Amino acid sequence: MFRTEPEDFQVDEIIDLQPSGEGEHLLLHIRKRDQNTTWVAGLLATLAGINRNDVSYCGMKDRFAVTTQWYSLHLPGRELDAGQLQHDDFEIIAQCRHHKKLRRGMHRGNQFNILLRDFRVDPVLVAQRLEMIEQQGVPNYFAEQRFGHKGGNLYEAQKLIVADQLKGNRHGTGLYLSAARSWLFNLVVANYIERDDLTDQTGPLWGRGRSNASADNRQIESEVLAEWHSWCYALEHAGLAQERRNLLLKPENLTASWPQTDYLRLQFALPRGCFATALLRELAELFRPKFEAL
């Protein structure tokens, strides 16, 4: 079983940052349980008496989990009382001043500590699969949460594309723009898997500009996304430059232990923007022979 309790899914943000000790921004290292990133950002703004736009963070973290991450509050010339930012929905682990605010994507990655309950699979098979994952990697899919509840973000993206209103974040549609790019990337990943040709190369995060992929890869991507021409066109005119993302995801420092006979604990680190569920879905394949035999 996956995520029976928030403690089953622990995420710690990895950030290479040496605070200056002074400056207009207050950095807060926060631990939260069963709270999403934006909700806590709003609470911090209210408690500090500042505009919500003056609270920044590097990346979104799962809600149903125990997570730690950094926030920055723009407080030029202001000091806060120690208790002013206290709230039952989060815990402040550390705080310090810095001369720059945090920006999205500024973190290096995330460290995961995941407990899978009732995981009744031969430990030898698990060890073999984890060794394969560590050596070969897994498909670097964007996870379901990127697309919203029942894919709602994709439906909204389609509406905006039809209305020619899919623009950058400053227009309030960044969430749907990101979902659209991620969906197209996943289609490319799935096609390479079907071709049995998923290797250590990159796929498109669609936008304006010429791709630096090989001619063969550009041809494959063009064929896969031919039916999504309107989405590609909209993304090219949404204010984002084309980027590339690795098709394969390789976890760092992957370890496994068995706290109980049928409890599997996994610990590993992933680069920013990558999802632990991409790794977990490969482990879930170990259950498939059981179900196919029924």
Which residues are known catalytic residues? Answer: 62
Q: Which two tokens stand for residue 150?
A: 């029942």
**Who's near 164: CB < 8 A, 6+ residues apart?**
234
**Who's near 195: CB < 8 A, 6+ residues apart?**
220
Among residues 7, 8, 288, 246, the alpha carbon closest in space to that of 129 is found at: 288
Q: Tokens 């003056």 — which residue?
A: 54
State how far the Cα of 94 lies from the Cα of 261, in Å rounded to an integer.
Answer: 37
How many CA atoms lie less than 13 Å away from 53 in the CB half-sphere?
Answer: 1
Q: Which two tokens stand for residue 149?
A: 């509840």
State how far the Cα of 228 lies from the Cα of 243, in Å rounded to an integer.
Answer: 18
Angstrom CA distances, 108 to 57, 146, 174, stand at 13, 19, 22
State how far the Cα of 245 lies from the Cα of 146, in Å rounded to an integer.
Answer: 15
> Residues 94, 34: contact at Cβ < 8 Å?
no
DSSP element (H, E) containing 266: strand 263-271
> Residues 69, 37: contact at Cβ < 8 Å?
yes
> Residues 6, 34: contact at Cβ < 8 Å?
yes
